[in-house]
A and B are shown apart, each in its own frame.
Chain A
Amino acid sequence: MISAMPQNGDYPMPTIAPSRKKLRVVAADFLNSLPLTVEMAEDELFNFEYVIPSEGARRMAEHEADIALLPVAAVAEIGGLEIVPGPCIGANGRVESVVIVSQVPLDSVQRLFIDNASRTSVVLAKIFMDSVGKGDIPFIRMPGPEIPANVRGGDAGLLIADVAFRESKQFKYRHDLADAWKRLTGEPFVFAVWAAQPGVLTPELVERINRRFWDGIARKHQIIEEWAAQQNMPLAQVADYLDERIQFNLNKSAWYGMQEFFRLASNMRLLPDARVEFATPHAPQNGINTFGKFVPEVVPYNRSYGVDRILARADAGRRISLHDAERLYLEAELTDIGEVANNIRQKMNPGGGVSYIIARNINYTNVCNVDCGFCGFYRSDDPKRKGHHEGYVLTRQQLREKMDELADGDGVQALVQGGVNPNLPLEYYTSLLRWMKSEWPQIQQNSFSADEVLGLCPNKTPQEITSVLQALRDAGLDTFAGAGAEILVDRVRKRVSYKKSRSAVWLEVMRQVGIMGMKASVTMLYGMGETTRDKFAHMAKIRQLQDEVSPFMVFITWPYQKGPGQKIKSFDQAGATYLRVQGIARIFFDNIQHIMCSWVTQGPDIGQTALYYGADDFGSVMFEENVVSASGTTYKMNANSMEHCISQAGFIPFRRKGDFSQWDPAEHEMLKSNRVIAELTPGMI
């Protein structure tokens, strides 16, 4: 943190009419951002906060900030933001803080270790590696500080910020990515810009931000001295970095560089099809604004970028941003969404096949201490609470009956899921899985939610989560059901399910699932009063995690349905809304292969129609379902009716296994023959 300076009184600061609320401004307190932020932080007009870049992006995505100093990748991912002309964090050549290092020439590099903390740098690294013919090597995620120690042999590492400063010189080969960008495009590279929510920026505000920026530049030497002292870095190195390496002006050349970055990243399907929008404080005179800075010609967003264009670009394989998804939800014609979703579905799952599975839900316990306001299934473990006496844990005998019934119907998957029962230790789950695996080896286990796992992790650390997941996998867990995502926006989660894991924790469980190489399903429960933006902020978080560690095989969404005794009011209940949400999900998730329709909640009619809205999987026949039906929904289908629905819609039905591969009866019989029947004692759980 840089110490405050007295207000510079050389020139009058643009006055801004007092608003009811201070504008919420966030930025990272990195060395290169301080000239842009140090004065903003002291401005009474702003409610300013230093946060890490991912948190800044989250706040902008979820409308919890008005203005942010955002990495350009986040600008593209969110979409629809306005950029403040004037300042930026860029580099016109060597920058030294974003470097690919190795001990062998690039030609010999086999893998690249990356730090996902900086998405912009990772995208830049992918563009660079592609430009040198190494775009197809695996990119392995790793915490930044651990990368240097792991770079040896044919491995390379992407070093960022302090790690790059400290460690890059020990490697024989170093490729400065900003320098490489300059060589590739002839333009500077822009790392971050001030971005604002649409409608926030006024001419006066833009001018004020620019004044604050120039005041910050005037304090550069103070920043250099204090940073060097605080971080124990050589003064000369810090000074060289800020004075020589970083370009702070978003000039014409930098603007072209940023456009080129967006274009290449979009072409490579790394970022949504972004279009840079500048706030124009005043009509530029001959391309020059009041600061003598270049201001590009601007076409207002809504006129230039209709939903037809979003759909056309998506149809051509481009990523859509969070803002694009929001606009499709609000503005696009339903059948237009369906058409593009169906085209994308055909590209991702060609052949016109629609899968379904013979599986059953087994709700081993309804005892739960999470108290979700939207759940009609659970019973509290608190004896003082209503319905406590209806709590249960199924005995092994009861479970055997259900599993036998599933096996008799040629079932291939059990979805064992229950409440977060504080009375059941990890050993209960591992024992259960081992028993099920030995007695029904042909049935795959696609079980448990993130919160059930977290219930077994007192400290909720990544190591603890991994340890529990590892134990479950060793005991026979094939895939992770991954339910309980609801809406991954904490403002919503706190309201509908105060005790449930916060979104970052839920995502951390799934991150560990991905790192372990396991696969999971991912869901969205909408219609609980969340905003449109919340729905797609949820999807954006899932897509980003999928980019990082690919845990998800399939996405399923459905609306919350209020049943008797449920506290949360329901919204967005129309079947048309369901089709709209699912269709946009197919368009949005260019990195999740399968979309499952939810006929269980929507009924066979909307379920079948959903096949025209991107779904390539019809889900499971229903032996038993207790959670949704607790809200009053009673739809059930068997395999024949599913096949009829699918083929009537013009698709080809096929039975699948838990991993979405085609079911093989011969393999099924062979696995069945390995059955080992255990002896059970009465009442055993």
Chain B
Amino acid sequence: MSSKLISRVRSLLEREERIGVDDCCELFQVKDLAAVAALARIPRERRHGRNAHYRALLPIRVATLDELQLLRAGDQRLQGGVTGVAVRPVGPLAAGLDPLLSLQSALRLLPVPATLFLSAGIVAHAADGAGVSIQETLQALMNGGDLFINGDGAELSDPTFRAAHSAGAIPFQQWIAVHRAAHIAGLKTGASMLYTVKDRPAEYAAHLQAIRELQDETHGFVQFVPMGIQNNNVAEWYLAAPTAAQSLRVAAIARMFLDTIPHLAVAPSLITSEEAFVALSYGANMIDPTIAVDDLLSDEAFGDAAAAAQPSLPVFAASTAQQRGGILPALIHSRIVESRWIPIPMDAAFREISPATILAEQQ
């Protein structure tokens, strides 16, 4: 079955035709990862050749305006080829339109370009809180400074999954509505999908289909990010997160299915930084360090259950430590070169920028 599926999909991809939801669902069940990777290379290389993009940004979370003081004073974190910051508000700063607008005002004073990264959920809550429409909220934020609506909160479209695992997220239809509104307003946004250690082919295919339908309608998604998620409700720590094989398979299939979204990005913080560069050979074309991990994979989120189960086997603790240290653009640049791709740095708006700054840091 799998060889027929592979040749059918290959034929479709070579003719630049779409693969269907059923094909997508079946591909998630193919164990031959090499075959899936070979398929994903067709659309990946057609669109991007040997280029591998990355955003040369420092991702930061900000809960109070005081936290920007360090950045204003020339924070050490702005070294290593960083050409801008991606600011994600949390806590009080994320709780309403006014705090967001005041944050945008403060960001204009920073010595480097700063872009406000918001999820659809924050936008929806801000609109609710201010008693204005999503469109008006977005317009106010667009007037306030550089803005990017990332893919956070898409989770999985399946209602059962959302009820069980993403109770705090806005409903999927509302997530779609925010992104649709942003696209209509002229904003490019990101999309994402959660995947788990338990394979969910049908749910993944349905979710990807929903994303593809909106893209067909608006052409506003500029990036898609698969996000592996920890599950804290298991006793065995090693069952908490998807394995590398699952991550690579999801990236590859998403690349094939989402034929109209330009960038298939992977987050070093979610799949370990080295695996992210390997993913460039499995359909991904972008390394995006701005996909913040903390909400999904903080020490707290990692959970007591996992720690208690295997206190002496800190595999994920080790990788979390690596994530916390972050990955600087200069290192991303050199790893892309070492992985035999051509590095293309980008800013927050997905514009190519000169690699000179990053290369200078490498020297």
Is residue A63 contacting chain B, with contact meaning CB distance below 8 A?
A: no
Main secondary structure of the interface of B (DSSP, over half): helix
Cα A63 to Cα B221 with chains together (Å): 51
Taking CB atoms and an 8 Å cut-off, the chain B residues in 259-289 that contact chain A are 271-272, 274-275, 277-278, 280-282
Question: How far, in Å, is A581 (CB) from chain B's closest CB?
Answer: 12
**Separation in Å of the B6 CB from the closest CB of chain A?**
12
Q: Tell yes or no: A285 within 8 A of B by CB.
A: no
Quick one: given A634-B314, A635-B318, are A576 and B238 in contact (CB under 8 Å)?
Answer: no
The B-contacting residues of A in range 331-355, CB under 8 angstroms, are: 333-335, 338-339, 342
Give every chain B residue within 8 A of A650 (Cβ-Cβ): 31-33, 245
A451 to chain B, nearest CB (A): 30
A645 to B244, CA, bound (A): 9
Q: What is the minimal beta-carbon distance from B320 to any residue of chain A, in angstroms?
A: 12
Residue B258 at the chain A interface, CB threshold 8 Å:
no
Instruction: Let me know if B180 is at the binding interface, CB within 8 A.
Output: no
With contact pairs A333-B281, A575-B278 given, residues A605 and B314 touching in the complex (Cβ less than 8 Å): no
A609 with B245: CB separation less than 8 A: yes
Of residues 598 to 650 in A, which have CB atoms within 8 Å of B's CB atoms? Answer: 602-606, 608-609, 612, 634-638, 640-641, 644-645, 648-650
Q: Across the interface, which residues of B come within 8 angstroms of A333, CB to CB?
A: 41, 281, 340
Asked if A110 is an interface residue, CB under 8 A from chain B, the answer is no
Complex CA gap A575/B237 in Å reads 23
Q: B140-176: which residues lie under 8 A (CB-CB) from chain A?
A: none
Interface size, B (range): 35 or more
Contact with B along A585-609 (1 / 0, CB 8 A): 0000000000000000011111011
Interface-central residue, A575, A578, A649, by most chain B CB under 10 Å: A575
Contacts A603-B274, A606-B278, A644-B239 given; does A574 touch B338 at CB 8 Å: yes
Residue on B nearest A576 in the bound complex, by CB: B339
Q: Does B7 contact A (CB under 8 A)?
A: no
Min C-beta distance of A361 to chain B, whole Å: 16
Q: Is A195 an interface residue (CB 8 A)?
A: no
Which of chain B's residues 312-348 have a Cβ closer than 8 Å to chain A?
312-315, 318-319, 335, 338-340
- Closest B residue by C-beta to A331: B340
Task: Write the chain A residue with the least CB distance to B322.
Answer: A603
State the Cβ distance, B52 to closest chain A Cβ, in Å: 11
- Per-residue interface assignment for chain B, residues 214 to 254, with 1 indicating a CB less than 8 Å from any chain A CB and 0 otherwise: 00000000000000000000001111000111111000000
Is B38 among interface residues, defined by CB-CB distance under 8 A?
Answer: yes
Known: A335-B38, A644-B243. A606 touches B274 (CB 8 A): yes
Could you tell me which residues of chain A, from 38 to 96, have a CB within 8 Å of some CB in chain B? none
Looking across the interface, which residue of chain B has its beta carbon closest to that of A332? B340
Is A579 among interface residues, defined by CB-CB distance under 8 A? yes
Nearest CB of A to B193, in Å:
19
Q: Is A577 an interface residue (CB 8 A)?
A: yes
Which of A342, A572, A573, A644 is the one whose CB lies under 8 Å from B238? A644
A635 to B315, CA, bound (A): 5
State in angstroms the CA–CA spacing of A575 and B244 once bound together. 12
Contact of A335 among B245, B282, B313 (CB under 8 A): B282
Interface mask (B3-41 → A, CB under 8 Å = 1, otherwise 0): 000000000000000000000000000011110011001
A624 to chain B, nearest CB (A): 10
Whether B275 and A575, one on each chain, are in contact in the complex, defined by CB atoms closer than 8 angstroms, is yes
Instruction: Judge whether B313 and A637 touch: CB under 8 Å.
Output: yes
A605 pairs with B33, CB closer than 8 A: no
Distance, CA A602 to CA B318, complexed state (A): 12
Q: Check A638 against B278 for contact (C-beta < 8 Å).
A: no
Give the residue of A339, A572, A579, A641 whose beta carbon is less than 8 angstroms from that of B278.
A579
Minimum C-beta distance from B198 to chain A (A) = 11
Are B272 and A342 neighbours in the complex by a CB distance under 8 Å?
no
Chain A residue nearest to B281 (CB atoms) is A334
Distance A575 CA – B236 CA, assembled complex (angstroms):
26
Residue interface bits A456-494, CB-to-B below 8 A is 1, else 0: 000000000000000000000000000000000000000
A638 to B237, CA, bound (A): 11
CB–CB A605/B244 < 8 A: yes
Which one, B32, B33, B278, B314, contacts A576 given CB within 8 A?
B278
Q: Which of A334, A612, A641 contacts B315 (CB 8 A)?
A: A641
Q: Give Cα A645 to B313, complex, Å.
A: 15
**Which chain A residues border B32 with CB–CB below 8 Å?**
650
**Which A residue's beta carbon lies closest to that of B313?**
A636
Contacts of B313 in A (CB 8 A): 636-638, 641
CA A412 to CA B265, docked complex, whole Å: 43
Q: Are A636 and B312 in contact (CB under 8 A)?
A: yes
Tell me, yes or no, whether B354 is within 8 Å of chain A by CB. no
Residues of chain B within 8 A of A577, CB atoms compared: 338-339
Alpha-carbon separation in the docked complex, A333 to B45 (Å): 12
- Chain B residues contacting A334 (CB-CB under 8 Å) are 278, 281, 339-340
Contact of B310 with A by CB under 8 A: yes
Q: Give complex CA distance A644, B32 in Å.
A: 17
Q: What is the bound-complex CA distance between A636 and B272, given in angstroms?
A: 15
CA distance A29 to B286 in the complex (A): 58
Q: Is the CB of B339 within 8 A of A634?
A: no
Enumerate chain A residues within 8 angstroms of B236, measured Cβ to Cβ.
640-641, 644
B277 touching A604, Cβ below 8 Å: no
B243 and A645 form a contact (CB under 8 A): yes
The answer to whether A575 touches B312, judged by C-beta atoms less than 8 angstroms apart, is no
* Neighbour of B274 across the interface among A605, A638, A640, CB < 8 A: A605
Q: Are B282 and A574 neighbours in the complex by a CB distance under 8 Å?
A: no
Residues of A within 8 A of B41 (CB): 333, 335
Q: Enumerate A513-544 residues with CB–CB distance to B below 8 Å.
A: none
Q: Is the CB of B339 within 8 A of A339?
A: no
CA distance A579 to B280 in the complex (A): 13
Given the known A-B contacts A576-B278, A577-B339, A640-B236, are A605 and B310 also in contact in the complex, defined by CB atoms under 8 Å? no
Q: Is the CB of B339 within 8 A of A603?
A: no
- B35-78 at interface with A (beta carbon < 8 Å): 37-38, 41
Which of B34, B271, B340 meets A605, CB within 8 Å?
A: B271
CB neighbours (8 Å) of A641 from chain B are: 236-238, 313, 315
A560-590, CB < 8 A from B: 572-579
- Distance A645 CA – B32 CA, assembled complex (angstroms): 15
- Given A636-B313, A640-B238, residue A574 in contact with residue B33 (CB < 8 A): no
Question: A575 and B277: CB pair below 8 A?
Answer: yes
Do B278 and A609 touch (CB < 8 A)?
A: yes
- Is there an interface contact between B310 and A606, defined as CB atoms closer than 8 Å? no
Interface string of A287-325 (1 = CB under 8 A from B): 000000000000000000000000000000000000000
Contacts A/B (CB < 8 Å), 17 sampled:
A334-B278, A334-B339, A576-B274, A576-B277, A576-B281, A604-B238, A605-B243, A605-B244, A605-B319, A606-B272, A612-B34, A638-B313, A641-B313, A644-B239, A648-B243, A648-B246, A650-B245
Residues of A within 8 A of B (CB): 333-335, 338-339, 342, 572-579, 602-606, 608-609, 612, 634-638, 640-641, 644-645, 648-650
Closest 9 interchain pairs by CB?
A575-B274, A650-B31, A641-B238, A605-B244, A576-B339, A334-B281, A339-B34, A574-B338, A648-B243
Mark B residues whose CB is within 8 Å of A: 31-34, 37-38, 41, 236-239, 243-248, 271-272, 274-275, 277-278, 280-282, 310, 312-315, 318-319, 335, 338-340
